[in-house]
């Protein structure tokens, strides 16, 4: 409407008073020239004219109002029908649908006549209907955001929608209009993001609890250490943050070793190797180490992640095995060389021994040589026995290491 109701009322009131005043003034001016009967007739005609004028004016106003109302209804109906989001109006009492727009028809796959035979619950899976019934019964506010629900199409396909509703009167019935935005892809993406975040959290938990982990900035200064790092190094995170790994270096590795390490990770490659360090008590320990460079969106390295595993027992085990093998090689060498020589000499002396004439003075000389060779052989046997004891000690140490690992 172009004019407000109050403004039209005021105009009507002013014009009414103006008509009464002007008509009475004109009638009073010519009253001397008119008979009493004529004056009465004019007053009657004046009233008729006023009623006719009023009727015409009221007709015009009502007609204008109805045209405006029809126009508004048409605009709102067009907005409803052409709204890009699905809109559905349902009767609060019966929950039957009273009207739906084209977007709703496209989204759910029902025709308009089919929709008008449905109740709200029929768009919901069976398992959600009791929850829906409770929710509808609790809807008291004019506007309500109902959140995300699962709906189903005519085909039975289920998808997620975000629902909001507003109270209204439709054709004289108490109703609510639903806005059901399709958020299926968004919900699936959020679920995927949640699952990925959960997996990452699980991986992080596993890595933190199963390995020795630390993070440094690109200059090599420590930003983070986990509990296992604290346990093996003997230093707290407070003592290590801001420091470098030089704080726990054992001095075992030379500058070339560390130079090759830095060249690898600064080239954005993963470095893997074994590093010997020294803890706060001065004890040595070995770590199987992976160092992974992290790059930002510009491709520049901003930090390094170090994942390490304690291999001290393994290194001790390898050392003991190496020592055992050394003793076994020595035993083999003695067996093949040091024993063979005196045995061969004894066999040679036996061959030239004069068994037919035992009293031969030459036999005494041979027996003296045999005694010397026998003493040498006895010394070699003692060496073998001594080295065998070392092998047995190493075997016991290896067994203890294996038991400790179990």
Determine the angle formed by the axes of helices 36-82 and 5-29, rounding to 10 degrees: 170
**Topology given in CATH for the domain delimited by 84-187:** Beta-Lactamase (3.30.450)
pLDDT at 80: 86
pTM: 0.54
pLDDT at 318: 75
pLDDT at 1: 46
Residues of the chain with pLDDT below 50 are 1-2, 406
Same fold, 84-187 and 212-310: yes
CA distance 190 to 47: 76
Please calculate the CA angle 127-168-144 and round it to the nearest 5 degrees.
Answer: 50
Just give the CATH number of 212-310. Answer: 3.30.450.20
Q: List residues bridging with 150 in a β-sheet.
A: 160
CA distance 173 to 122: 21
Which residue ranges make up each domain of the chain? 5-80, 84-187, 212-310, 315-405
């Amino acid at each position: 409407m172009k004019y407000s109701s109050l403004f039209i009322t005021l105009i009507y009131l002013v014009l009414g008073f103006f008509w009464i005043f002007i008509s009475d003034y004109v009638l009073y001016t010519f009253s001397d020239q008119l008979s009493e009967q004529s004056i009465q007739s004019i007053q009657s005609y004046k009233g008729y004219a006023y009623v006719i004028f009023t009727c015409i004016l009221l007709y015009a106003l009502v007609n204008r109002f109805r045209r405006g109302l029809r126009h508004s209804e048409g605009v709102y109906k067009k907005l409803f029908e052409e709204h890009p989001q699905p809109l559905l109006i349902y009767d609060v009492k019966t929950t039957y649908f009273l009207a739906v727009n084209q977007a709703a028809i496209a989204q759910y796959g029902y025709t308009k006549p089919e929709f008008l035979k449905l109740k709200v619950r029929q768009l919901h899976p069976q398992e959600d209907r009791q929850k829906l019934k409770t929710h509808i019964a609790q809807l008291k506010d004019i506007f309500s955001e109902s959140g995300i629900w699962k709906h189903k199409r005519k085909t039975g396909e289920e998808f997620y929608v975000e629902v909001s509703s507003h109270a209204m009167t439709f054709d004289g019935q108490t109703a609510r209009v639903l806005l059901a935005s399709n958020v299926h892809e968004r919900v699936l993406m959020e679920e995927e993001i949640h699952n990925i975040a959960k997996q990452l959290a699980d991986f992080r938990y596993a890595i933190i609890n199963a390995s020795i982990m630390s993070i440094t900035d690109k200059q090599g200064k420590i930003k983070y250490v986990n509990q296992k790092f604290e346990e093996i190094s003997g230093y707290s995170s407070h003592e290590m943050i801001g420091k470098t790994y030089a704080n726990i270096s054992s001095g075992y590795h030379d500058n070339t070793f560390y130079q090759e390490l830095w060249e690898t990770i600064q080239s954005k490659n993963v470095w893997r190797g074994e590093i010997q360090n020294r803890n706060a008590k001065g004890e040595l320990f070995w770590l199987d180490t992976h160092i992974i460079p992290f790059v930002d969106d510009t491709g520049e390295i901003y930090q390094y992640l170090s994942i390490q595993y304690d291999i001290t027992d393994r290194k001790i085990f390898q050392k003991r095995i190496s020592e055992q093998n050394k003793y076994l090689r020595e035993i083999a060498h003695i067996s093949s060389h040091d024993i063979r020589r005196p045995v061969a000499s004894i066999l040679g002396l036996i061959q030239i021994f004069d068994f037919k004439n035992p009293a031969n003075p030459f036999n005494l000389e041979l027996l003296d040589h045999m005694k010397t060779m026998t003493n040498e052989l006895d010394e070699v046997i003692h060496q073998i026995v001594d080295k065998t004891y070392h092998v047995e000690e190493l075997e016991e140490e290896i067994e203890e290491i294996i038991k400790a690992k179990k």
